[in-house]
Amino acid sequence: MADDKKLLAEFEIISLDDIVVVQDSEGTSQKEPPERTQNKNEIEIAREKLAEKLKILKEKQKEQKLEREQIKRDVDELKRSNEERRRREDENRKVSAKQEKGVEHGEESKSTIEAKHAKFEDYEKARRAELEKYLRRYRENHQNPELKRSQTSSLSRGNSKTGTSGETSKASKLGKPNRRVRRVQSERVWEKKRIQQCEEREANNQTLEE
């Protein structure tokens, strides 16, 4: 811009008021002096040059703006890549530290895992034994009612002959609900015990996974 102002300073800026029209005696106008015409042409040329320079300057400013934006994007990308690289390095250091610690305590960890597996196997054996015991008791409880009813009916008939049928019936009525109550209670106790064993097994599984 300073060069453009300097360029314009070398020329004389004129306006239409500075142009003088000279008329002859016949009333016809004469042409402008050659010096004025030359100055006018030089001013137009200077204006065209100035406009061209301004256009070039705007294009350069636009290019510089695009370059600055691209540089900013490159800097942001470089920052992200550096952060990612540092994060990976930190993770690698942590993994290396864990591996070194695992090598130092490898034998101890191995023995601990073996002990946990042995304990888990013992627990599984005990659980299977309890389950088989529960199933056997369950089958017996479903098979014995028929036998008990037949025994109760035969006993009632025998007591009726001796005149004690009323007392036997009363005893059977009182004894049967008591047996049912005991059976229900035992089943509830077994169910609670089974749930507790399942919870212990889940806890052992989580411990082994860790």
**Average pLDDT score over residue span 69-84:** 91
pLDDT digits (tens, 9 = 90+) for 13-43: 555 455 454 554 444 444 555 566 666 688 8
The runs of H, that is alpha helices, within the chain are 2-9, 34-104, 106-162, 165-209
**CA dist., res. 64 & res. 56, Å (int):** 12
pLDDT class for 147, splitting at 50, 70, 90? low
Least confident of 25-39, 67-81, 136-150: 25-39
Share above pLDDT 90 across residues of the chain, in percent, rounded to a whole number: 14
Residue 81 CB-half CA count within 13 A: 6
pLDDT(138) > 50 = yes
**Average pLDDT score over residue span 44-54:** 89
The DSSP output letter for 17 is: G
**Closest residue by Cα to residue 4 from 75, 63, 62, 54:** 54
**Average pLDDT score over residue span 190-204:** 75
In this predicted model, which residue has the larger pLDDT, 171 or 92? 92
Q: Which pLDDT score is estimated for 186?
A: 77
pLDDT(72) > 50 = yes
Residue 196 contacts residue 202 (beta carbons within 8 Å): no
pLDDT class for 120, splitting at 50, 70, 90? confident
All residues at 6 or more sequence positions from 18 whose CB lies less than 8 Å from its CB, including other chains: 36
**Average pLDDT score over residue span 161-173:** 49
Rg of the chain (C-alpha set): 56
**CA dist., res. 155 & res. 166, Å (int):** 12
Distances (CA, A) of 121 to 115, 126, 187: 10, 9, 26
**CA dist., res. 184 & res. 159, Å (int):** 30
Q: Which pLDDT score is estimated for 108?
A: 63
**pTM of this prediction exceeds 0.75:** no
pLDDT class for 61, splitting at 50, 70, 90? very high
Q: What is the mean pLDDT of the chain?
A: 71
